Structure 1
C-alpha cells in the first residue's frame, strides 16, 4: 500500500513526510482523538492505552523493540532507556545513528543492531517489517498519512508535530513506555540545568543576558533561516534565558526564511549561532552559504559568529541533543556547564 509522497524537502525540521507501509501483521489499533500523553494504564503498567494526536492506541505489553520513525523519537526512546531497533535517515548512505547520540551521558537506552528503514519521507515497508517492532513512534506531520498502515504492523503512537514540542513528545514517549514519571523528571532536570547555565552566562556578561540568533543554511532555494522561540532550538535558548536578537519576531512561526541578502542584518545579535545542513554536496548548501557570507551586509553583522553542529542544534529535536547544545553554550561563553 502506497501513501502520498512528501510535499517538500524533509531534511528540514518542519517538513511533512509520508510513508509506504505494507499490511504485514496486526498488533495495534487506533481510535478516536484524545489528549496527547494521557494514559489509563493499570498498576502493573500493561496493557495500557495511550491517547495521542491521531487516536487511542492499546499497547498490550512492555515494548522491547521500538521503531522511532523520526529523530525526535529516537532521542526520546534512548533517553528513557528503551531499545531502538530501527530509524529513518536524511540521506541514503547513512547507516548509523549520529555519534553525539550514541556517546551521550544522557543516552541510557540501547541501539545495538538498529538499522535504517528508509529515508524520513520514504520508509521501506520491508525494512519496517524486518525490525519486528512492538511499538512505532512518529508524528502526524511526518508520517500521519501512514498511521493506519503502521498500526497494522505494531501499536503506533503519533504526536501532532516535532520541534518546539520536544518536551511534550518525550512525555508522550514515556506514556508508551510506562515511564511518564521519568520523562517528567528528565524535563525538569534539563530545565534546571538550562536555568543554572543561563545564570552563569548572564553573570559572565556583566549581569545582562546576551542576545542570540540561531541561523541555518539549508540550500540555495531556502536562502538563510532564522529560528524563533517557537522552534526546537528557540525553546532551548529561551530555557537558558538568552534573549532573541532584535531581528527575531518572537510571535512568528518557528522559522523565518530570508531569500534575499538584503535581510541579512535581521540576523544580527550579540551572538550568532550558525548551523549548516549537511547535504553531501547534493543540494548546493555550501555554495549558497558561501554566497551569503560573501555579501557585503554579512560583513556588517556586529555579533560574534560561532559555527555549531547542525545534527543536534537543529536536527536533533530531543532531550539528548538539547543537553549537547547546553554543553556547547557553556564552552562558547566560557562558563561551568552545570552538569
Structure 2
C-alpha cells in the first residue's frame, strides 16, 4: 500500500505538470492570438508609406506605369484611360478619362491600394480620391526601370519584376544586334499646337529606348518645347517620327510635314516619315516599353 507521503508527492508532481501544461497552453494561445501583420512599409517618391502585404484591389489612378501591375499578375479594379489602346485591360476594370476621376466611382471599386504619379499627391483636386486607400506615388522623370521596380515593390512582387526585366533586356539585345548593320537614323518630335513642335533630348525615355535597340537618334542637347518651325532644318536624320494626338483631328502632324522648310529635309524628301500615336510614344514603365518596341518593330521590321 502506498504511503500517504508517497501519494502526496505523486499528486504534487502530477499537479505541477498539469499546471505547467496549462501555462504552456496559455502561452501557445497567446502566440496564436497575436495579430498577423497585414501591411508593410515601402518607400515611394515621397518617403515611407504603409501598403497591404497582399493587395487584391489596386487602382491605377492615371493609367501609365501604374498599369505595370498587370504584367506582375494583378488586375486593377480601376484605371485612368491613358493606357487604353496599347494595354489590354480586363473587362471588369473600370476606366475613366477624367482627371481627377470621380471619387465615388473609384470608391465603388473598394480599392485597397492606389498608385499614381507624384504630382497628384500635391494637387488639391485629388484630395477625395487619394484618401480612399494607401497611396504609392511614382517619381516623374526618365527612370522607367526604377518606376517599374517601385510598382513591383508596392504590390510585393519584386521577384517577378526581375524576371520580366531580364526578358526585356534579352529582347533589347536581340533587336540591337539585328539593327547593327542597318544604320537607321531618326529624329523624334511631337506636335501639340499649330506652328511649333517639341524635340526631346537623348535621356527622354523614347529616345533612350530607340538608342538601346540600335537606332541612331539625333536629338538636341536639351529638350526644347514649343520650338519655332524655323528650326525644322535641324532635323537632318534619314527618318522623321512625329508623335501626334490619336486621330490627329486637327492635322497637326501633316501641317508640320507640309511646311516649306520640312519639304527640304532628307526624311520628307524620301517620304520616310512616320506619324505615331502620342499616347503610345509617351508612356512609362515596362508594359509601355514593350508596347513601344512592338511599334518600332512594326515601323522598322527586322
Please classify the TM superposition score into its range, dividing by the shorter chain length.
Answer: 0.7 to 0.9
1:1-339 to 2 correspondences below 5 Å: 47-89=39-81, 98-102=84-88, 111-120=90-99, 122-145=100-123, 150-161=129-140, 164-203=142-181, 205=182, 209-220=183-194, 223-245=196-218, 248-250=219-221, 252-253=222-223, 256-278=224-246, 281=249, 284=250, 286=251, 288-303=252-267, 304-314=272-282, 316-335=283-302
Distance change (3 Å), C-alpha of 1:143 and 1:175:
same
Q: How much has 1:149 moved relative to structure 2?
A: 5.2
Q: Give unpaired runs (5+ residues) of structure 2.
A: 1-35
The whole-number CA distance in structure 2 between the counterparts of 1:215 and 1:157 is: 32
Q: How much has 1:313 moved relative to structure 2?
A: 1.7
Distance change (3 Å), C-alpha of 1:119 and 1:151:
closer
Q: Counterpart of 2:160 in 1: which secondary structure?
A: helix
Contact 1:69 1:137 in 2 (8 A): yes
Question: How many pairs are equivalent?
Answer: 262
Contact 2:62 2:116 in 1 (8 A): yes
Distance change (3 Å), C-alpha of 1:99 and 1:123:
closer
TM-score (norm 1): 0.69
Distance change (3 Å), C-alpha of 1:160 and 1:321:
closer
Q: Which has the higher contact order (CA 8 A, sep 6+)?
A: 1
Q: How much has 1:229 moved relative to structure 2?
A: 2.3
Distance change (3 Å), C-alpha of 1:229 and 1:176:
same
Q: How much has 1:306 moved relative to structure 2?
A: 1.9
Structure with more helix by fraction: 2
Q: Give unpaired runs (5+ residues) of structure 1.
A: 1-43, 91-96, 103-109
Q: How much has 1:200 moved relative to structure 2?
A: 0.4
Q: How much has 1:241 moved relative to structure 2?
A: 3.1
CA RMSD, 1 decimal: 2.6
